[in-house]
Amino acid sequence: SKSEVSEVMTKADIKPKSMHRAKIWSDDVENLYRFQQAGYRDEVEYKQVKQVDAVECWPETGFVKKLQRRDNTFYYYNRQRECEDKDVHKVKVYVY
């Protein structure tokens, strides 16, 4: 249908307005860290590139469980926190 096509088009055009770096760890920062490890800005870009509606997460923590890189290899992540304090400042937080 026509509306579905236009929706996909607008989804593909989502670009962040700004970016800042994370200062303190949070669940959101943890997941951003995981997307960025796999080569994506964030969940928005991942869903756009991979054309998926959902991301597999650990039910206990809500952290991302696995991601597919652009070259189709899979990244698997732990149930628990992986982003250490020393890495928090490397995480880019995009604002749309």
34 neighbors 63 (Cβ within 8 angstroms): yes
- pLDDT, tens digit, for every residue of 44-71? 999 999 999 999 999 999 999 999 999 9
pLDDT tens-digit readout, 13-49: 678 999 999 999 999 999 999 999 999 999 999 999 9
- Supply the pLDDT for residue 33: 98
- Residue 11's pLDDT band, with cuts at 50, 70 and 90, is low
From 59, 55, 51, 57, select the one nearest 77 (Cα to Cα).
57
pLDDT (0 to 100) of residue 2: 47
Whether residue 44 contacts residue 32, with contact meaning beta carbons closer than 8 Å, is answered with: no
